Chains A and B, each alone.
Chain A
């Protein structure tokens, strides 16, 4: 019996052991559940309901985070490279500039001025030219006023032609004759019959007019559609823009309309004859634009438009690191225009100083708290948390009161005779003030994680070290301190990341030398409205934080970060 039991092969009957062995051997197929389905599938089915329920539970938060956090960050990342405004507002100019060599500079071909005339005209009618001006102004000072001025003066060019056509025949400045010349008769009938309710019948060009007057037709169509959709006016009652007259002049001077026999052919033939006559006054687009603003004949604006014509640009990011896009490629800005590099450095440096001060001030307190009886510790913890419950603004303003030249500290020092009355210390509106106030504000964020880690370090480790012969210092340094590092790490990450993006305190007590990059971001968001640059700066900040996090993970290990027991 004993022999047989030790040699399983000799047992022929079914034993539990044999059954298990058989089950182990049958691993050539998937394990099956009792109902014959693969076990994995059964398990998944059983877990699905659980997973769905879990998902339903987190759904509200998930949606909230998506809407309020992920989406804005995505939008910010997108804005930092997005640059469609140039292409959208000046499509003809961008196309005409395709073969313009920005690096070589120089004034572009006349076609470019022609395209720019049309683009600026349409943009001005849509009131988009100022926006483009502001956008380009980020890259080239003066662009904003150039576009503003051009928007006001762009009509001057077309009026040259409009006046002459009007002198020839008053109908050229009337709505109806133009509509008959350009519009499809069916559309005219429909537009006349429109009762003012519902949508206006969309303007249709007459079938062959685009062949005879291509520019004019295209220009009039833009005008008519704009009137219908944007202004809600009937093209039958609005005289066209001067840009249409300009287009008409171009068409008549280039093409032959003698074969045209459609509506208003007399009027058109007469106009063609006028254009052909030597007395007809013309104005080159280039000269016209130069008359509005001579910056148009400065190569710089064309270089800028060319450089920023792609839909996506690295320009914002280059700006945020004190570089700029030039025709020759990215280049560093002039010494006196560099600001962001300094700000980033200062933000990093001051955040580090704040973090270190928080460690130095917080560590002994956390140590004390974690080694006191819990009753006393809780009482002291309230003192630590008390500033937490006070408004951030109040605390920062309190520091202003404390630190200013006529403030409490200076008064005390003067009273004690340590500082002369005429040599009061400047402790506010500079880096010192920012560091002091922010260290105070962020200290609880350092103490709390340290405390929670330290309170999990058992007293016995210290006792063990002492019983092994270590002095108080050795015990602390070799045994206690290494175990408290996760708390320091957690607190440092928290404080550093918070301070790197801090805004209110530097704004109030920072003056000019104590402000952070975030203040600059806020400036671009709310004052200069350069959101693209703000987004690029914010993205860089985000990347820096992620890099630091990664570095911390590599050096210390993120598992070593403990925010609680």
Chain B
């Protein structure tokens, strides 16, 4: 992974470690390179170290070890106010005693920009987030979504090349959040800014980002574009964390290049694609996405292994059907089928055979 001396790298983390108490590492050996203009999301459960990474980049935390570079220059010893990085906070952090215009004008004032210039820039920034009429109001007089736009405008008004966002949409309701997700990505791409975005919401991460870094236990578990992350998780943590996922535990019986056979704990055999397993006899956890499970035998490959399954529950969800099965002792096995005219509705209690394409079934590590 350490292709750190990348010449077009804009943001670089080099072997960065962070500890708060001198006993435990919150961030363990972080290496990350971002080109200019990329929208990168740090995704992970709370306590995984993603926010700490963001704070180190912003300068509010110091790295215990390693180097952080911005545009080729080490910034470890540069105080936050000299880094010129825009930042959007989770609770917006709009100064309550200033009006919206004053809030936006603040970063320009501290940069000693002239009054007329300031006013023009503030107006442009407000128009950019469609809040031009709200300059005279106080933050408390705005709704959450409006405050979010102002926070965004304030982080952009001094034209930083790098903008950090720390769960900026966490406090918004679902609909508004989806709307803002698109607005933020569009704005970021239009302005050509580099964005590091922190969230624990995987949908947000998948819809917004060019690349997603999945954090867990102080490490990046996988750094990949959204589709790759979803379809080709590199380990069972990522598979579990991103999207809905079925897991079955077993032992590797046979490995042949891109194929392997896994014997499940109840004796059944299935085909899978070995991802991070290497030898026969190793414990594994196979992962199958609910929508990739096939209940129609005709669509399966010749000679493919199938498993017996018992239908436990059928849930009608409008656009899809969600069926819970008992497979190889796992009664949380879920399949999703599209609500199409010819689709069967599985009755609870019936026995069916299920199977999948070997590529969709990934044999991953058994840890966690």
Judge whether A461 and B93 touch: CB under 8 Å: yes
The reply on A264 being an interface residue by CB < 8 A is: no
The reply on A469 being an interface residue by CB < 8 A is: yes
Q: A458-B91, A469-B84 are in contact. Are A483 and B97 (CB under 8 A)?
A: yes
Complex CA–CA separation, A176 to B293 (angstroms) = 132
The reply on B49 being an interface residue by CB < 8 A is: no
Specify which chain B residues have a CB less than 8 angstroms from the CB of A259 in the assembled complex. none
Specify which chain B residues have a CB less than 8 angstroms from the CB of A461 in the assembled complex. 93, 95
Interface residues on A, range: 10 to 19
A32 to chain B minimum Cβ distance, whole angstroms, is 37
Contact residue among A463, A464, A471, A483 (Cβ-Cβ distance under 8 Å from B110): A471
Specify which chain B residues have a CB less than 8 angstroms from the CB of A460 in the assembled complex. 89-91, 93
Report the tally of A-B residue pairs with Cβ distances under 8 A.
66
A514 to chain B minimum Cβ distance, whole angstroms, is 39
Q: In chain A, what residue has the closest Cβ to B96?
A: A483
Judge whether A467 and B87 touch: CB under 8 Å: yes
Specify which chain A residues have a CB less than 8 angstroms from the CB of B164 in the assembled complex. 467
Judge whether A467 and B110 touch: CB under 8 Å: no
Contact residue among B80, B96, B110 (Cβ-Cβ distance under 8 Å from A474): B110
Specify which chain B residues have a CB less than 8 angstroms from the CB of A475 in the assembled complex. 81
Enumerate A449-481 residues with CB–CB distance to B below 8 Å: 458, 460-461, 463-472, 474-475, 478-479
Specify which chain A residues have a CB less than 8 angstroms from the CB of B60 in the assembled complex. 463, 466
Judge whether A478 and B80 touch: CB under 8 Å: no
Complex CA–CA separation, A75 to B216 (angstroms) = 73
Judge whether B93 and A458 touch: CB under 8 Å: yes
Specify which chain A residues have a CB less than 8 angstroms from the CB of B97 in the assembled complex. 482-483
Q: Is the interface of B mostly helix, strand, loop or mixed?
A: loop
Judge whether A463 and B89 touch: CB under 8 Å: yes
A475 to chain B minimum Cβ distance, whole angstroms, is 8
A498 to chain B minimum Cβ distance, whole angstroms, is 28
Q: In chain A, what residue has the closest Cβ to B94?
A: A464
Q: A463-B58, A464-B87 are in contact. Are A470 and B93 (CB under 8 A)?
A: no
Q: In chain B, what residue has the closest Cβ to A485?
A: B97
Complex CA–CA separation, A145 to B40 (angstroms) = 97
Judge whether B80 and A466 touch: CB under 8 Å: yes
Complex CA–CA separation, A483 to B139 (angstroms) = 14
Enumerate B56-86 residues with CB–CB distance to A below 8 Å: 58-60, 79-86
Interface string of B86-112 (1 = CB under 8 A from A): 110111011111000000001100110
Complex CA–CA separation, A463 to B60 (angstroms) = 7
Judge whether B95 and A467 touch: CB under 8 Å: no
State how many residues of chain B have any CB contact under 8 Å with chain A: 28
Q: A460-B89, A482-B97 are in contact. Are A468 and B154 (CB under 8 A)?
A: yes
Judge whether A467 and B85 touch: CB under 8 Å: yes
Specify which chain A residues have a CB less than 8 angstroms from the CB of B87 in the assembled complex. 463-464, 467-468
The reply on B158 being an interface residue by CB < 8 A is: yes
Q: In chain A, what residue has the closest Cβ to B91?
A: A460
A362 to chain B minimum Cβ distance, whole angstroms, is 21
A373 to chain B minimum Cβ distance, whole angstroms, is 11
Specify which chain A residues have a CB less than 8 angstroms from the CB of B106 in the assembled complex. 465, 468, 470, 478
Chain A CB count within 10 A is highest, among B81, B82, B86, for B81
Specify which chain B residues have a CB less than 8 angstroms from the CB of A483 in the assembled complex. 95-97
Judge whether B110 and A468 touch: CB under 8 Å: yes
Judge whether B89 and A464 touch: CB under 8 Å: yes
Specify which chain B residues have a CB less than 8 angstroms from the CB of A482 in the assembled complex. 97
Judge whether A470 and B110 touch: CB under 8 Å: yes
Complex CA–CA separation, A467 to B86 (angstroms) = 6
Complex CA–CA separation, A69 to B95 (angstroms) = 42
Specify which chain A residues have a CB less than 8 angstroms from the CB of B58 in the assembled complex. 463, 467
B198 to chain A minimum Cβ distance, whole angstroms, is 14
Q: In chain B, what residue has the closest Cβ to A467?
A: B87
Specify which chain B residues have a CB less than 8 angstroms from the CB of A463 in the assembled complex. 58, 60, 80, 87, 89, 93
Interface string of A207-230 (1 = CB under 8 A from B): 000000000000000000000000
Q: A460-B89, A460-B91 are in contact. Are A467 and B81 (CB under 8 A)?
A: yes
Enumerate B114-154 residues with CB–CB distance to A below 8 Å: 154
Complex CA–CA separation, A204 to B59 (angstroms) = 102
Specify which chain A residues have a CB less than 8 angstroms from the CB of B154 in the assembled complex. 468
Q: In chain A, what residue has the closest Cβ to B87?
A: A467
Q: In chain B, what residue has the closest Cβ to A560?
A: B97
Specify which chain B residues have a CB less than 8 angstroms from the CB of A468 in the assembled complex. 81, 86-87, 106-107, 110, 154-155, 158
Judge whether B158 and A464 touch: CB under 8 Å: no
Specify which chain A residues have a CB less than 8 angstroms from the CB of B80 in the assembled complex. 463, 466-467
Specify which chain B residues have a CB less than 8 angstroms from the CB of A464 in the assembled complex. 87, 89, 93-95
Judge whether A470 and B91 touch: CB under 8 Å: no
Complex CA–CA separation, A471 to B158 (angstroms) = 16
Contact residue among A458, A469, A474, A478 (Cβ-Cβ distance under 8 Å from B158): A469
B166 to chain A minimum Cβ distance, whole angstroms, is 9
Complex CA–CA separation, A485 to B95 (angstroms) = 14
Enumerate A356-382 residues with CB–CB distance to B below 8 Å: none
Complex CA–CA separation, A483 to B96 (angstroms) = 8
B213 to chain A minimum Cβ distance, whole angstroms, is 21
A484 to chain B minimum Cβ distance, whole angstroms, is 10
Specify which chain A residues have a CB less than 8 angstroms from the CB of B96 in the assembled complex. 483
Q: In chain B, what residue has the closest Cβ to A470?
A: B110
B280 to chain A minimum Cβ distance, whole angstroms, is 53
Complex CA–CA separation, A36 to B86 (angstroms) = 63
Q: In chain B, what residue has the closest Cβ to A475?
A: B81
Interface string of B310-330 (1 = CB under 8 A from A): 000000000000000000000
Enumerate B22-66 residues with CB–CB distance to A below 8 Å: 58-60
Complex CA–CA separation, A65 to B38 (angstroms) = 68
Specify which chain B residues have a CB less than 8 angstroms from the CB of A466 in the assembled complex. 59-60, 79-81
Enumerate A103-147 residues with CB–CB distance to B below 8 Å: none
Specify which chain A residues have a CB less than 8 angstroms from the CB of B81 in the assembled complex. 466-472, 475
Interface string of B260-294 (1 = CB under 8 A from A): 00000000000000000000000000000000000
Q: Can you give 5 contacting A-B residue pairs, CB < 8 Å?
A: A465-B95, A465-B106, A466-B79, A468-B154, A470-B110
Beyond the given pairs A460-B90, A467-B155, A483-B95, 10 more chain A to chain B contacts, judged by CB atoms under 8 angstroms and listed by A's residue number, are: A461-B95, A466-B60, A467-B87, A467-B164, A468-B86, A468-B87, A468-B107, A468-B158, A469-B158, A470-B107
Among all A-B residue pairs, the 8 with the closest Cβ atoms: A468-B107, A464-B93, A467-B87, A460-B93, A466-B80, A482-B97, A470-B110, A466-B81
B: residues with CB less than 8 A from A are 58-60, 79-87, 89-91, 93-97, 106-107, 110-111, 154-155, 158, 164
